[in-house]
């Protein structure tokens, strides 16, 4: 009977060993941005930081919650909000929300603006948002993009609102309005894939592709509205 007794003793010992704790799901890191913020660690509404600061410090899997207001990317024309892989930017917060479902982008308007100098367009940033080199996990949701101006200044004079070369970002619940460029006034994409869902392109201007100009790219469009855009040559709404 000794083998059976030894086996029973072994099973008893194993039963007394505490089980290893189950792996916990990694919590989403949320960073908070507010238009009047000048400092802060970005880790709560009370210590919100500027949007560029939140973006710079956002790691893989982070969400950036953006309070209603107007945000400019910097003080020089080359300044831009540069999207990042596996980082989601959500606008439409009043400030104080504790759950993503509580935001209201239609009511709490969050604007990414190229207006950095004197009133008017010619000294504005050349790209308000840049999505080059990203994948589909670079998400921008619930914002308005306006005031980009790229006539006669680098990057082939393209993409006043959004500029993408070799990237595939995802834009959801976004309004892209009143941007200017030689080509792709609202959006310019080349050699990538762009997903637009519930997006409006309005009042943008360009020589070609006033709303959106696509070169050698894939467009995935769902509930997209082109209205009031103006092209001087080709593609008032969309040119591909």
Q: Is the pTM of this model over 0.85?
A: yes
Q: Give the CA distances from residue 86 to residues 58, 169, 174, in Å, rounded to whole numbers and listed in that order.
A: 9, 10, 19
- Residue 154's pLDDT is 62
* Mean of pLDDT values over 188-213: 98
Say which residue, 17 or 234, is predicted with more confidence: 234
Say which residue, 7 or 132, is predicted with more confidence: 132
- Residue 120's pLDDT is 79
- Residue 39's pLDDT is 85
Say which residue, 19 or 36, is predicted with more confidence: 36
Q: In 152-228, at which residue ranges do the beta strands (DSSP E only) sit?
A: 162-165, 170-177, 180-181, 187-190, 193-202, 205-208, 212-215, 218-227
Average pLDDT, the chain: 90
pLDDT higher than 80, residue 148: yes
- Residue 158's pLDDT is 96
According to DSSP, residue 201 is labeled: E
pLDDT tens per residue, range 26-59: 578 999 999 999 889 999 999 999 999 999 999 9
- Residue 38's pLDDT is 85
pLDDT higher than 90, residue 126: yes
Say which residue, 28 or 223, is predicted with more confidence: 223
pLDDT higher than 80, residue 25: no
- Residue 132's pLDDT is 98
pLDDT higher than 80, residue 12: no
- In angstroms, the CA 15 to CA 222 distance is 56
Least confidently predicted of 82-86, 105-109, 150-154: 150-154
pLDDT higher than 70, residue 87: yes
* Mean of pLDDT values over 61-86: 97
> For residue 223, with 0-12 CB atoms within 10 Å meaning exposed, 13-18 middle and 19 or more buried, which class applies?
exposed
Work out the pLDDT band at 3, boundaries 50, 70, 90.
Answer: very low
């Amino acid at each position: 009977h000794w083998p059976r007794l030894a086996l029973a003793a072994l099973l008893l010992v194993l039963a007394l060993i505490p089980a290893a704790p189950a792996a916990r799901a990694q919590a989403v890191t949320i960073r908070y941005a507010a238009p009047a913020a000048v400092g802060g660690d970005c880790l709560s509404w009370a210590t919100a930081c500027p949007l560029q600061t939140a973006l710079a410090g956002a790691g893989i899997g982070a969400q950036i919650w953006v309070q209603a207001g107007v945000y400019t990317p910097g003080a020089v024309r080359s300044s831009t909000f540069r999207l990042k892989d596996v980082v989601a930017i959500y606008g439409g917060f009043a400030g104080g929300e504790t759950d993503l479902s509580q935001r209201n982008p239609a009511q709490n308007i969050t604007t990414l603006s190229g207006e950095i100098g004197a009133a008017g367009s010619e000294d504005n940033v050349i790209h308000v948002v840049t999505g080059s080199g990203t994948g589909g996990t670079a998400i921008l949701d619930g914002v308005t993009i306006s005031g980009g101006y790229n006539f006669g200044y680098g990057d082939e004079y393209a993409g006043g609102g959004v500029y993408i070369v070799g990237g595939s970002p995802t834009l959801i619940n976004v309004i892209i309005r009143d941007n200017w460029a030689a080509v792709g006034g609202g959006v310019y994409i080349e050699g990538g894939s762009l997903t637009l869902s519930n997006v409006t392109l309005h009042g943008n201007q360009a020589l070609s592709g006033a709303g959106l100009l696509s070169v050698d790219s894939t467009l995935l469009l769902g509930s997209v509205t082109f209205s009031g855009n103006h092209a001087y040559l080709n593609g008032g709404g969309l040119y591909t």
